[in-house]
Amino acid sequence: MNARRWVPLLAGLAVLVLLAAAPGIFSAFMIQFLINLFMMTILAESWNIIGGFTGYTSFGNAAFFGIGAYTTGVLVTRAGLPFAAALPAGGALAMLFGVAVGVPVLRLKGQYFAIATLGIGETMREVVYNLEVTGAGTGLVMPISRSPLSFFYLMLAILAGATLVNWWLSASRFGYGLIAIREDEDAAGAMGINAPLYKTIAFALSGTFAGLAGGVFAYWITFIDPDAVFKMSTTVQMIIMAVFGGSGTVLGPLLGAFLLSSVSEVLATQLATLAELFYGVIIVLVVLFMPKGLFDLIRRREFSFKYFARNLRENRI
Amino acid sequence: MLVLQVLVNGILLGGLYGIMAIGMSLIYGVLRIVNIAHGALIMLGAYITFWTFTLWGWDPFLSLPVTILLLFAVGYLVQRCILNLIVRAALYLTLLITFGIEVVMVNLARIAWTSDLRQTAPAYVAANFSVGGLTIPYVRLWVFATTVVLSVLFLLLMERTRLGRAIRATAQELRAARLTGIPVGQIFAVTFGLGAALAGAAGAMWGVLFPITPILGRALTLKSFVVAVLGGLGTMMGAIVGGLVLGLAEAFTATFIGPTYPNAISFGLLVLILIVRPTGVLGRGEGR
């Protein structure tokens, strides 16, 4: 391994150290904003593993988030487990769910996979609505933690892990396998890649990070109900952040999450509906004008009208 | 007797699911787009009818042609101005853009009409009659009758007219259709318009039977898809049969398992069918 490959890792480490020092500098409001930003970034990166690298557009990743949140919530409130034990359990269950659901669903291609995952997300919400242990429709109230800073560091740690995994995927045999599956699954299979195994691992990895983020979210926000954690708009946000930045890249989701979270945070202070509307408009514009994402635009250094016009022409009837 | 009553309820609701799914299936069959905004179009139809009824007192059934025309125009424009630009893109992009359109429509509706529960409630909404111990609300019967009429009209349009033939030709072989002089861009827009019109009609009647909110479409998009997949995506007759199956499945679950379960059952059914038989129970051809 040559020295060049370590440059991004070192740069990442530097950013991490800077961020870790943030609580000493910023106000409490900023910290809350950063926690939310970290969470959205984790989700965008988690989606990127299955949707970006592997090319399987999951429309149900909010299910993982919800499972993580509810597992943590139920274990803390009903079983009296400490948060430190409940959170990993949430991540683990989300991972198991990824494997259990992934095995049958990842056999589906394209639109069938997308809709099946959409259905899974909605089914999970309905199931939780009907379960006693999860507090059904009323939700769960978590004990209030005394140290809000712990959420900051937890989210940051998970974010670092998710970024590391994305980076690893972009430069490893396993990651290349996923990209090969995205480009041409039959050919990948012919080259000796065990596609079902690879896809399932990718889906489970994606689920683990979303689940962990959900677990921290539950304890941070202290109240969860099915509508809040199994939101379709959570899935939409993950996807659009990843695609806006550039799906299938390491920096893309980071960039997308940072930019979109910031804008939507500002808009949400005006009106929550406005923030969602903004996402909708961004989705339409991004798909039309820069489907390869900001990262591609920056890499090509083609900041001209021509770039957008070419994208627009490419997929016209 | 209860079983018979549930059976009737299920079939009457199934007709409505049927025409929702015909629209979904048509759009998929011709454009190869899974239209996530379908439910938002249903919602729009519901609100148009609600407002024409509330503001001007138009009967929700008699105003159907107006709703249908308006929704056709909306669908036509969406396809013409947005989706035609992207129709050949990778699948996740077309899915994503209809998702974006859905989010925009739903949130505009939230801003314009708030998230309050509303219902189109004409005077006869609670009237019903009894046949041999079965209680049947008139509106449900009219809704069912209307869906039958609309389905028949739609099938005639597809099978017997030049336009229908052009749509079918475009669906079968885009390039050949274009070579024979069919303006495919136009046909795509008309097709989406027709799908939207059916969705709008379904929404108009949905608003008479149930309370409506701007997000009512989310679940209905999935249900339309359940039904379309049940019958085999892209086939029209399959959608009608699928609608009846879903209507029955929901009616029986609501009665015998619990009133909060129908959604869980129908979404679960969707996942199950996709896994076991992605080409649909009645469908055939390409799949995984």
Q: What is the CATH number of the domain that holds B54?
A: 1.10.3470
Domain count within chain A: 1
Q: Do B287 and A111 touch (CB under 8 A)?
A: no
| pTM of this structure | 0.86
Contacts A279 to B, Cβ<8 Å: 100, 103
- HSE-up of A63 (CA within 13 Å, CB side)? 28
Contacts B100 to A, Cβ<8 Å: 240, 279-284, 287
Rounded to an integer, what is the distance from CA B136 to the centroid of its chain? 23
- One-character DSSP codes across A133-187: TTTGGG-EEPPPPS-HHHHHHHHHHHHHHHHHHHHHHHTSHHHHHHHHHHH-HHH
Contacts B278 to A, Cβ<8 Å: 108, 112
Asked whether the beta carbons of B13 and B140 are under 8 A apart, the reply is: yes
Q: Which residue has the tokens 């996402």?
A: A279
Contacts B218 to A, Cβ<8 Å: 122, 232
Residue of B nearest to A108 (CA): B288
Distances (CA, A) of B187 to A314, B65, B82, B104, B179: 20, 21, 15, 25, 14
Residue A81 CB: number of other CB atoms within 10 A?
15
Helix (H, G, I), strand (E, B) or coil at A61: coil
The residue segments making up the domain with residue B98 are 2-276
Nearest-Cα distance to chain A for B23, in Å, is: 17
Q: B2-58: per-residue pLDDT in tens? A: 888 888 888 988 999 999 999 999 998 888 888 989 999 999 999 999 999 999 988
Tokens of B271: 């996942």
Residue of A nearest to B273 (CA): A116
B264 class by beta-carbon count within 10 Å (0-12 exposed, 13-18 middle, 19+ buried):
buried
pLDDT given for residue A85 in this prediction: 87
Q: B136 forms bridges with which residues in the sheet?
A: B129
Domain count within chain B: 1
pLDDT band at A15 (very low <50, low <70, confident <90, very high): confident
Contacts B81 to A, Cβ<8 Å: none
Contacts A233 to B, Cβ<8 Å: 103
pLDDT given for residue B281 in this prediction: 57
Indicate which of A109, A111, A240, A289 best probes the interface with B, i.e. most B CBs within 10 Å of its own CB: A111
What backbone phi and psi angles, to 5 degrees, belong to A81?
-70, 150
Asked whether the beta carbons of A94 and A214 are under 8 A apart, the reply is: yes
CATH number at residue A67: 1.10.3470
pLDDT band at A108 (very low <50, low <70, confident <90, very high): confident
Tokens of A17: 């150290």
Distances (CA, A) of A201 to B114, B157, B253: 43, 48, 36
Nearest-Cα distance to chain A for B242, in Å, is: 17
Tokens of A284: 């339409």
What is the interface pTM, i.e. ipTM, of the complex?
A: 0.84
Q: B184-238: per-residue pLDDT in tens? A: 999 999 999 999 999 999 999 999 999 999 988 888 988 898 888 887 777 778 8
pLDDT given for residue B286 in this prediction: 46
Q: A140 forms bridges with which residues in the sheet?
A: A224
Residue A106 CB: number of other CB atoms within 10 A?
24
Q: Do A129 and B264 touch (CB under 8 A)?
A: yes
How many interchain CB pairs under 8 A, A with B? 152
The residue segments making up the domain with residue A205 are 3-314
Nearest-Cα distance to chain A for B122, in Å, is: 31
